[in-house]
Amino acid sequence: MKFEDYRISDEIKKSLSKLGFIKPTDIQYKAIPPILKGEDVLAIAQTGTGKTAAFAIPILDMLQFRKNRKREDGIKCVVMVPTRELALQITEVFEQIGRHTRVKTFCVFGGVEQGPQIAKLEDGIDILVATPGRLFDLVSQGYIQLHRVEVLVLDEADHMLDLGFIHDIRQLIAKLPRQRQTLFFSATINETIKDLAYSLVNKPVRIQISPKDPVSKNVDHSVMYIDMDDKRFFLERIVKEHLDQKILAFVRTQVRAERVVKAMERVGIQALSIHGGKEQKDRTDVMRKFKKGEVKLLIATDVSARGIDIPNVEYVVNYDLPEQPENYVHRVGRTGRGTEKGVAVSFCSPEEKSILDEIQTYLTKDIKVLEVDKEDYEATIDFSADAKYDWRALIKEAEESEGMARKKKKKKK
């Protein structure tokens, strides 16, 4: 079935065709009809399978056509997401698909002044995409009323219902009308969170696609055993061997992100970083540059692990392994999106072996090992342009000339 054959408005069909969306993806095929019927939905589908449009299309359609609805009455739909970048991205998808409709979408998130956000809210909007913290603040201050909300979406639902967010989410849900439609979307979910999710929805339609292997089939992923101190040489090599490709590398901490950027700069590789310790203005700027491909290497913490859809990221590197096993799935899922193929490589140091084991238990399978033989390992370090390591070359040179001198002496004898 094609979108053309759907009972959705022509305005939406027009934008879908402009976006090149001809046929629904599996999750869209399964989720759109029950959402249009007003049912609650709990949907699990792999990374990059089009979950955003799976909720955006029916929501836009419903909001466009429900009668007796005035914008001044208040916000009709709230979409909650874990990060600011994801809020911007999802707003963009709503705007693109809803361009020819009268539905207005806006997003609020922390780290920027709230004044301009408040001014915009006063104009009246239909769909609000938000990170929980800022939404909570604006609701508490009375700038946002939630009593007209008809649809609530939690994207990256398992993460939203996890420890860091659950408190804000609960308080916000308490302010929503009981009579509403609730939609949860994610690529991963565990049993505890699933129970919690069920307690928040009403007779939901459950949709789960490819639950056996949570990693998208479009991602060719493997692991390399590398000592902690040698990781930068291997990243350098990957970058230099894939100069025209966009690479997203994940590290464990903000400090490490900055260190890796510096290490790359020392060997002539331009890299940007994104993490929670940066000003929002910088974060937005970095995303823009990386999206455009002005800079090909982005070093990120887990703030960018979820949901972010950047075109043409061919390569994901787990420079450090993620501490939460499900984040492995989300990180490698930043490549191989839609019909694209991608490659992901994880660097595992001896001290990270236990984390790797946990990830493999989570995936219920072993990750393919990329063997690096000793010679190749040494060659990667030698190949580095890092000036500090010139001593290796110097020693080699010294050894060679010493060897030659010895040979000459022997000859003389």
Binding site for Mg ion (CB under 5 A): 51, 307
Check residue 211 for interaction with ligand ADP (CB under 6 A). no
* Shortest reach from residue 45's CB to ligand ADP, in Å: 6
Query: Which CB atom, from 24 or from 98, has the smaller least distance to ligand ADP?
Result: 24
Nearest residue to Mg ion, using CB? 307
Measured from the CB atom, is 22 or 394 closer to ligand ADP? 22
**Which of 38, 116, 211, 338 touches ligand ADP by CB under 6 A?**
338
Question: Among 236, 309, 320, 352, which residue sits at the site for ligand ADP (rule: CB under 6 A)?
Answer: 309
Binding partner of residue 25 among ligand ADP, Mg ion, none, CB cut-off 5 to 8 Å per kind: ligand ADP
276-283: long-range contacts at Cβ-Cβ below 8 A with a sequence spacing of 24 or more? 276/301, 276/303, 279/111, 280/84, 280/109, 280/110, 280/111, 280/112, 281/112, 283/84, 283/85, 283/111
**How deeply is 358 buried, as exposed, middle or buried, from its count of CB atoms within 10 A (0-12, 13-18, 19+)?**
middle
Does 188 interact with ligand ADP (rule: CB under 6 A)?
Answer: no
Check residue 21 for interaction with ligand ADP (CB under 6 A).
yes
Q: Which does 50 bind (CB under 5 to 8 A by kind): ligand ADP, Mg ion, none?
A: ligand ADP
Smallest distance, Mg ion to C-beta of residue 368, A = 26
From ligand ADP, Mg ion, none, which one binds at residue 337 (CB under 5 to 8 Å depending on kind)?
A: ligand ADP
Say how many residues touch ligand ADP, by CB under 6 A: 14
Q: Rule CB under 6 A: say whether 337 interacts with ligand ADP.
A: yes
Nearer to ligand ADP by C-beta: 24 or 138?
Answer: 24
Chain positions 53 to 82 lying near ligand ADP, rule: CB under 6 A, are 53
Please, what is the minimum distance in Å from the beta carbon of residue 185 to Mg ion? 7
Interaction partner, residue 49 (Mg ion, ligand ADP, none; CB < 5-8 Å by kind)? ligand ADP
* Nearest distance from C-beta of residue 47 to Mg ion, angstroms: 7
Q: Is the CB of 13 or the CB of 51 nearer to ligand ADP?
A: 51
Q: Choose one: 21-29, 32-40, 349-357, 366-374; the region binding ligand ADP (CB under 6 A).
A: 21-29
Binding mask 267-306 for ligand ADP (x = CB under 6 A): ----------------------------------------
From the list 11, 34, 43, 49, which residue makes contact with ligand ADP (rule: CB under 6 A)?
49
Nearer to ligand ADP, 25 or 245 (CB): 25
List the single partner that 28 binds among Mg ion, ligand ADP, none, CB under 5 to 8 Å by kind.
ligand ADP
Q: What is the 3-state secondary structure (H, E, C) of the chain?
A: CCHHHCCCCHHHHHHHHHHCCCCCCHHHHHHHHHHHCCCCEEEECCCCCCHHHHHHHHHHHHHHHCCCCCHHHCCCEEEECCCHHHHHHHHHHHHHHCCCCCCCEEEECCCCCCHHHHHHHHHCCCEEEECHHHHHHHHHCCCCCCCCCCEEEEECHHHHCCHHHHHHHHHHHHCCCCCCEEEEEECCCCHHHHHHHHHHCCCCEEEECCCCCCCCCCEEEEEEECCHHHHHHHHHHHHHHCCCCEEEEECCCHHHHHHHHHHHHHCCCCEEEECCCCCHHHHHHHHHHHHHCCCCEEEECHHHCCCCCCCCEEEEEECCCCCCHHHHHHHHCCCCCCCCCEEEEEEECHHHHHHHHHHHHHHCCCCEECCCCHHHHHHHHHHCCCHHHHHHHHHHHHHHHHHHHHHHHHHHC
Contact status: 214 vs ligand ADP (CB under 6 A): no
137/340 with CB nearer ligand ADP: 340
Site for ligand ADP contains 50 (CB under 6 A): yes
* Contact residues for ligand ADP, defined by CB under 6 A: 21, 24-25, 28, 47-53, 309, 337-338
